[in-house]
């Protein structure tokens, strides 16, 4: 089977919910919109900041690695993918997320990071099939998330551009605030159906408040 044919046949973890996501859109003062953003290139990166390996990775990415919980760095170089983001997961653990439509695929991005690490301790692993992405946007998006997230989601505590590992309902997720009213949610693919339905249910009360 050719790579093009395989791409045509692939199905995202929440593709079967697309019509329900579209029907759940709310306009007006309590606006809401939910969609899946599938097939993002995601590479799990393990490297100790400050080491020679980390410096080579930072040169490749065109940005310093984020140095704190919640930190996100934007890649300025084109070697992995222009506009990619590096999300902090732990003191020596990061997730490199490429924008949708990137011309640099998972295998190539992973290979370049592996090359940058060299023989020093560290790892770069393609995790693109491990997670999917939900985008929740609108004036009531934070209200929806607050139904199942223990983090303080107020802008004073959760700033635009921050990303934290947390839970939404019973589902472990990575939650990234990409705009003042826009959030990206990264569940593991096996939880996509459950979390998609959970979000639809949490949005339901706003349907009558259009």
Name the token pair of 169: 């309902």
Residues 116, 53 share a domain = yes
Residue 55 vs residues 48, 70, 95, 96, 137: alpha-carbon distances, Å: 10, 21, 17, 16, 36
Q: Taking residues 158-173, what's their average pLDDT?
A: 97
3 pLDDT more than 60: no
Q: Taking residues 69-98, what's their average pLDDT?
A: 89
Residue 204 CB coordination number (10 Å): 12
Kindly report the CATH number assigned to the domain that includes residue 142: 3.30.1360.120
DSSP 8-state code for residue 90: E
Q: CA gyration radius for the chain? A: 18
Confidence category of residue 81, pLDDT binned at 50, 70, 90: low
The pLDDT assigned to 2 comes to 53
For the chain, what is the mean pLDDT?
92
User: Would you say 83 and 96 are in contact if contact means Cβ atoms under 8 Å apart?
Assistant: no
What whole-number distance in Å separates Cα of residue 166 and Cα of residue 60?
Answer: 29
Task: Note down the domain range covering 72.
Answer: 42-126
The pLDDT assigned to 207 comes to 84
140 pLDDT more than 90: yes
Q: Taking residues 87-93, what's their average pLDDT?
A: 97
What whole-number distance in Å separates Cα of residue 39 and Cα of residue 112?
Answer: 19
Listed residues 91, 126, 161: the one ending a domain:
126
Name the token pair of 178: 């990409």
Kindly report the CATH number assigned to the domain that includes residue 55: 3.30.70.1520
Report percent pLDDT > 90 for the chain.
Answer: 84
Report percent pLDDT > 70 for the chain.
Answer: 92
The pLDDT assigned to 121 comes to 95
The pLDDT assigned to 209 comes to 58
Residues 107, 159 share a domain = no
List phi, psi (to 5°) of 96: -95, 120
The pLDDT assigned to 4 comes to 54
């Amino acid at each position: 089977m050719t790579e093009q044919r395989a791409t045509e046949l692939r199905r995202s973890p929440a593709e079967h919910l697309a019509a329900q996501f579209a029907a759940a859109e709310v306009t007006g003062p309590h606006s809401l919109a939910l969609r899946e953003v599938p097939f993002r290139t995601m590479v799990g990166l393990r490297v100790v900041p400050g080491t020679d390996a980390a410096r080579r990775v930072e040169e490749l990415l065109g940005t310093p690695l984020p140095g704190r919980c919640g930190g996100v760095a934007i890649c300025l170089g084109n070697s992995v993918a222009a506009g990619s983001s590096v999300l902090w997961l732990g003191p020596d653990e990061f997730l490199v997320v490429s924008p949708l439509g990137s011309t640099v695929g998972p295998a190539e991005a992973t290979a370049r990071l592996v090359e940058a690490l060299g023989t020093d301790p560290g790892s770069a692993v393609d995790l693109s099939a491990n997670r999917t992405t939900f985008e929740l946007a609108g004036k009531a998006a934070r209200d929806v998330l607050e139904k199942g997230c223990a983090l303080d989601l107020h802008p004073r505590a959760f700033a635009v551009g921050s990303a934290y590992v947390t839970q939404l309902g019973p589902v472990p997720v990575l939650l990234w605030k990409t705009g003042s009213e826009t959030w990206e949610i990264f569940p593991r693919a096996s939880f996509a159906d459950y979390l998609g339905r959970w979000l639809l249910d949490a949005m339901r009360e706003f349907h009558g408040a259009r």
